[in-house]
Amino acid sequence: MTPLDPPTPKLTKKDFVSDQEVRWCPGCGDYAILAAVQRALPDMDVVREKTVFVSGIGCSSRFPYYMNTYGFHTIHGRAPALATGLKLANPELDVWVITGDGDGLSIGGNHLMHLLRRNVDVQLMLFNNRIYGLTKGQYSPTSILGQRSPSTPMGSVDAPINPTLFALGAGARFVARAIDTSVKTLGDVLTEARAHRGASFVEILQNCPVFNDGTWNAVAAKEVASDTQLWVEHGKPLRFGANLEKGLRIVEGGRVEVVTVGEGGVPESEVVVHDETDRTLAFLLAQLSVPEMPMAFGVLYRDPRPAYGTAIVAQNEQALAKQGPGDVNALLRSGHTWMVE
Amino acid sequence: MDTPVSPSADGREILDSVVIRFAGDSGDGMQLAGDQFTQTTAVAGNDLATFPDFPAEIRAPAGTTFGVSGFQIHFASHDVLTPGDAPDVLVAMNPAALKVNLHDVPKGGLIIVNTGAFTKGNLKKAGYEKDPLLDGTVAPFRVLKLDISKLTADAVASFGLGSKASLRTKNLWTLGLLYWMFDRDRIPTVAWLEGKFAKHPDVAKANIAALNAGHAYGETAEMPQGVGSYKVPKAVLSPGHYRNITGNEALAWGLAAGGRLAGLPVMFGSYPITPASSVLHNLAKLKHFGVTTFQAEDEIAAICSAIGAAFGGALGATATSGPGMALKGEALGLAIMTELPIVVFDIQRAGPSTGMPTKTEQSDLFQAIWGRNGDAPLCVLAPASPSECFHYAIEACRIATQYMTPVIVLSDGFIANGAEPWKIPDFNEIERFEVKFQQDTEGFHPYVRNPETLARVWVKPGTPGLEHRIGGLEKDFGSGNISYDPKNHHQMTKMREAKILGIANRQPEQPVELGTDHGKLAVVGWGSTYGSIHSAVRQARAEGLDVSHIHLRQMWPMARNLGTLLRRYEKILVPELNNGQLYRVLRAEYLVPAEPLDKIEGQPFKVAEVLEGIRQHLNA
């Protein structure tokens, strides 16, 4: 920017609201997520025309229509693949992928895995409501055992998948978890996700008031939150509870246990300090679940390495530097040729 | 091999045309020998066509019939349109190769056999109870029996390669003998070997020694009755700079060229599949042409990455074969709905399902034209030969970007791997079609259309003021917003159809390749059957039959005059390497009495098969 450029007016939430009427069910957790994103983006200094939201199919995947940025509502499960091509074609774009538990982990599980292990520089938000909403309530790959649904009237017998654990297993270098209704913390996590170069994976616990109401109540309800949510922060001890009176300790054999910290309990020095670059710790944290344990939120793992696009661009530039700009006529005449007089 | 017309000055018999088939184990280097023979034959000034035919197994068990790999070349002093119906010369490196190929050799044909491989074990593996060289099986042929294994081993003994590596050079020994027999120059192959084995000079030297030894054997050894040395005079080719090219090379280069002509970077996302993979291999070497290649996790991701790239303002492309096309169907629908330009190469192979991966077929026509949910029109092109792939890859890029549509180019295994001499065009003379992205915000919505082509505007994300959302849901004609309005869906469906059909308005009319624009019989083909059909029609016309050849390249939309043209013939015969697809399209579109001539053997048509079909339909 030169000194003569007029100052760019700071964008506000309403700059990111599109002219389309939002069509989620009343009370859907997606409203809260949309609001959190629209509120957080201005503070991230995003450039609206360089921002693209790409989604698959499902309730969550309507998201791009409501954002006043570039957007692509693609086909079921394929948003990660499409976003990969988009990023390769146009590396300067700031790409967000919106998916759900069915879209991202069932039909699109393969693409999600490859986006993460390749480390494509996008932010991926997986809205996890543990149910298929748009097709009217069938169980999803994250539904709990015994979930009753139109397709499982006697209860689901499928073991559910843990999205955060999946992301870590696939080799993601940024893995975080947040909750739909916690707008402030969600905004913070998304800000961190965007700052990370490479694939950032964010699982967002989301309520579906129509088909799976209260599925996260045991974790997300205000009354229990302090005892069920462990918000991690790099370099800080893993403490929770209304007065942060509880903490996590690793005991022999690598198991994690909840301890009381301070008076009548253990000294804080025995509580694990969060190291977001420790992949083993991230695996432990990702597996914690209620009621025995609190569920871990925030940035569980962050250990950047060069993004996929950077490496691809580097190879393209290397080829260009070595061989010069391609000459089609020379290409056609390369190798064995002959003249006919 | 034609009857010799006259001996040449150097005592060689002069022949007009020759078909040679190299056959051996998958590991015997027959494809390499064939490739080298092709290059030197091109240098010698003959016209030629080739047909590599290899098993799907990478290294099938040695000596078995299903492990036989073949390479056929047809070269002549006149123009050559097909790799030849039957080999005049069969090189059989082992009993299995003889067993698989002998029935194709006409009586009196020349068979060169490596007796060194005719061991008890190999005979058994090939299913011979008795040695066919001794029991009269080969009596109707001229046979040159040579212990090529031993002759090669002797020739390279001094290089100390060990017996296994020594034996591996027997394809070069054989090639040397054929170079002598057909008066080919060894120098290009020597240079090629020196380059290929630059890091292993002793291997290069051994191979060159084997080549020279085979050649020397021909010069010095006394040949049996009926085996001589031959010369095929130069063909009269249009002057210019030539090269050999395979279909998949031409597609890759055409795509890179198409990106240049459109002024766009190319993003090619693909998943390995036979026989399309070499398109990816070729493009991966062209990064300095602004080509990014992406080996996707599956066929769906491959096309979705291309669509993502197109949305991002690049030329998105992918290549696959039939099974992959089936997986790409839904994404093609998305590209149709969002009206984004992508190029899809479908290198057809024998199906359904996995079918016969290395064998050629033309059975994806229906799939290409109609194989999607909903009314989902797009453009389909079909080059008729390896070199035409270059032009049609460029055409695909042009149509895709000018009409904002996916374009499918239908090639097949025969075109993909077959080679032909190609007079290299001057790239600077090819018309550019530079893409102009939408910049104007005035009255903008993403489905604003060019009134002439009906193409919607193309916006590159990153452009301020044009932020918009697209997707697979139906769009309102007037605003591009989601719409469930019944009348609007009707209108948009008709609009998508009109846009694609309108492509024909600016495409050439359907010509008649050979013959007249009316008459008793039109033989209508498409794709790789060109050579067989053209040769058959030429012969039939020489016999005085009223028959013409029409060859389609615009498979959808079809040429605007095609219906009118076809109605001028009493009968229409459609030879296809499938169970009858184009003939049904022609009937459905034009209500013409098209009849099928099908062959579903994974092999190209022989000229004689098409000729027989013509005679039957003319009661001749």
C-alpha distances (whole Å) from B380 to each of B370, B511, B557 are 10, 18, 7
Give B473-478's long-range contacts (Cβ < 8 A, gap of 24+): B473/A73, B473/B337, B474/B337, B475/B337, B475/B446, B475/B447, B476/B447, B477/B447, B478/B445
Going by pLDDT thresholds of 50, 70 and 90, the confidence category of residue A263 is confident
Of all residues in chain A, the one with the smallest CA distance to B265 is: A89
Both tokens of B540, joined, read 């039939």
- Cα of A299 to nearest chain B Cα, Å: 28
Q: What is the CA radius of gyration of chain B?
A: 27
Q: Which helix (H) or strand (E) holds B251?
A: helix B247-262
Q: Which residues 6+ apart lie within 8 Å of B109 measured at CB?
A: B1, B86, B87, B88, B89, B90, B141, B142
Q: Check B288 against A326: CB less than 8 A apart.
A: yes
* pLDDT (0 to 100) of residue A34: 97
DSSP conformational letter for A67 = B
With an 8 Å Cβ cutoff, is B290 touching chain A? yes
Q: What is the CA radius of gyration of chain A?
A: 23
With an 8 Å Cβ cutoff, is A62 touching chain B? no
% of chain A surpassing 70 pLDDT: 98
Higher pLDDT, B27 or B610: B610
With an 8 Å Cβ cutoff, is B193 touching chain A? no
3-state secondary structure of B71: strand
Both tokens of B508, joined, read 């050439």
With an 8 Å Cβ cutoff, is B394 touching chain A? no
* pLDDT (0 to 100) of residue B59: 77
Going by pLDDT thresholds of 50, 70 and 90, the confidence category of residue A5 is low
Nearest to A84 among B192, B308, B464 (CB): B308
**Closest of B449, B314, B466 to residue A70, by C-alpha:** B466
Cβ(B349)–Cβ(B356) below 8 Å: yes
AA letter at B506: R
Q: Check B482 against A65: CB less than 8 A apart.
A: yes
In whole angstroms, give the CA distance from residue A12 to residue A14.
5
* pLDDT (0 to 100) of residue A1: 45
Going by pLDDT thresholds of 50, 70 and 90, the confidence category of residue B163 is confident
In whole angstroms, give the CA distance from residue A33 to residue A183.
7
Q: Check B294 against A323: CB less than 8 A apart.
A: no
Q: Kindly report the backbone phi and psi dihedral angles of residue B562, in degrees, each rounded to the nearest multiple of 5, phi listed first.
A: -60, -45
* pLDDT (0 to 100) of residue B118: 96
Number of Cα atoms under 13 Å in the Cβ half of residue A73: 22
Nearest to B472 among A18, A74, A331 (CB): A74
Cβ(B303)–Cβ(B269) below 8 Å: yes
In whole angstroms, give the CA distance from residue A127 to residue A53.
14
In whole angstroms, give the CA distance from residue B214 to residue B183.
13
* pLDDT (0 to 100) of residue A294: 98
Residue A3 has pLDDT above 70, yes or no: no
Residues of B in contact with A84 (CB under 8 A): 294, 296, 301, 305, 308
Which of B43, B283, B288, B303 to probe the A interface (max A CBs under 10 A)? B288
The mean per-residue pLDDT over the stretch A254-264 comes to 92
Which of A55, A65, A67, A70 to probe the B interface (max B CBs under 10 A)? A70
Q: What is the DSSP string of B265-293?
A: -EEEEE---TTTHHHHHHHHT-GGGTEEE
The B residues from 22 to 61 touching A (CB cutoff 8 Å) are 39, 42-43, 45
C-alpha distances (whole Å) from B389 to each of B173, B347, B362, B374, B559 are 34, 11, 16, 30, 19
Q: Check B287 against A332: CB less than 8 A apart.
A: no
Cβ(A316)–Cβ(B267) below 8 Å: no
Q: Kindly report the backbone phi and psi dihedral angles of residue B90, in degrees, each rounded to the nearest multiple of 5, phi listed first.
A: -115, 125
Provide the β-strand partners of residue A202: A125, A176
The A residues from 97 to 116 touching B (CB cutoff 8 Å) are 110-111, 113-114
Residue B7 has pLDDT above 90, yes or no: no
* Cis? peptide before B421, omega within 30° of 0: no
% of chain A surpassing 90 pLDDT: 93
The A residues from 308 to 337 touching B (CB cutoff 8 Å) are 312, 315-316, 319-320, 322-326, 328-329, 331-333, 335-337
* pLDDT (0 to 100) of residue B2: 52
Residue B455 has pLDDT above 80, yes or no: yes
- Cα of B463 to nearest chain A Cα, Å: 6
**Closest of A23, A29, A22 to residue A209, by C-alpha:** A29
Both tokens of A155, joined, read 């209860």
Of all residues in chain B, the one with the smallest CA distance to A339 is: B241
Residue B490 has pLDDT above 90, yes or no: yes
Both tokens of B553, joined, read 């390249």
In whole angstroms, give the CA distance from residue B23 to residue B132.
16
- Cα of B188 to nearest chain A Cα, Å: 9
Q: How many CB atoms lie within 10 A of CB A52?
A: 28
With an 8 Å Cβ cutoff, is B330 touching chain A? yes
% of chain B surpassing 70 pLDDT: 99
Q: Check B242 against A339: CB less than 8 A apart.
A: yes
Number of Cα atoms under 13 Å in the Cβ half of residue A240: 23
Q: What is the DSSP string of A95-154?
A: EEEEEEHHIIIIITHHHHHHHHHHT-SEEEEEEE-SS-TTTTS---TTPPTT--BTTBTT
Provide the β-strand partners of residue A207: none
- Cα of B445 to nearest chain A Cα, Å: 12
Size of interface A-B (CB pairs under 8 A): 208
Residues of A in contact with B376 (CB under 8 A): none
Q: Check B292 against A75: CB less than 8 A apart.
A: no
Q: Check A74 against B334: CB less than 8 A apart.
A: yes
**Closest of A84, A332, A97, A67 to residue B314, by C-alpha:** A84
**Closest of B25, B6, B24, B26 to residue B16, by C-alpha:** B6
Q: What is the DSSP string of B179-197?
A: HHHTT--SHHHHHHHHHHT
In whole angstroms, give the CA distance from residue B228 to residue B18.
14
Q: CA B496 from chain center: how many Å? A: 31
Please, what sign has the CA dihedral across residues B77, B83, B89, B92?
positive
The B residues from 561 to 600 touching A (CB cutoff 8 Å) are none
Going by pLDDT thresholds of 50, 70 and 90, the confidence category of residue B225 is confident
Q: What's the whole-number average pLDDT of chain B?
A: 95
Q: How many residues make up chain A in this entry?
A: 341
Interval B30-40: pLDDT, tens: 999 999 999 99
Q: Check B43 against A20: CB less than 8 A apart.
A: no
Residue B602 has pLDDT above 80, yes or no: yes
Nearest to A86 among B241, B309, B464 (CB): B309
Nearest to A340 among B242, B256, B466 (CB): B242
Cβ(B76)–Cβ(B7) below 8 Å: no
The mean per-residue pLDDT over the stretch B88-100 comes to 97
With an 8 Å Cβ cutoff, is B307 touching chain A? yes
Residues of A in contact with B342 (CB under 8 A): none
**Closest of B190, B195, B230 to residue B210, by C-alpha:** B190
With an 8 Å Cβ cutoff, is B289 touching chain A? yes
Q: Which residues 6+ apart lie within 8 Å of B206 measured at CB?
A: B156, B159, B161, B165, B166, B169
The B residues from 333 to 362 touching A (CB cutoff 8 Å) are 333-334, 338
Q: CA A253 from chain center: how many Å? A: 31
* pLDDT (0 to 100) of residue A9: 78
Both tokens of A326, joined, read 């391609």
Nearest to B467 among A49, A333, A336 (CB): A49
Residue B78 has pLDDT above 50, yes or no: yes
Cβ(B67)–Cβ(B60) below 8 Å: yes
With an 8 Å Cβ cutoff, is A56 touching chain B? no
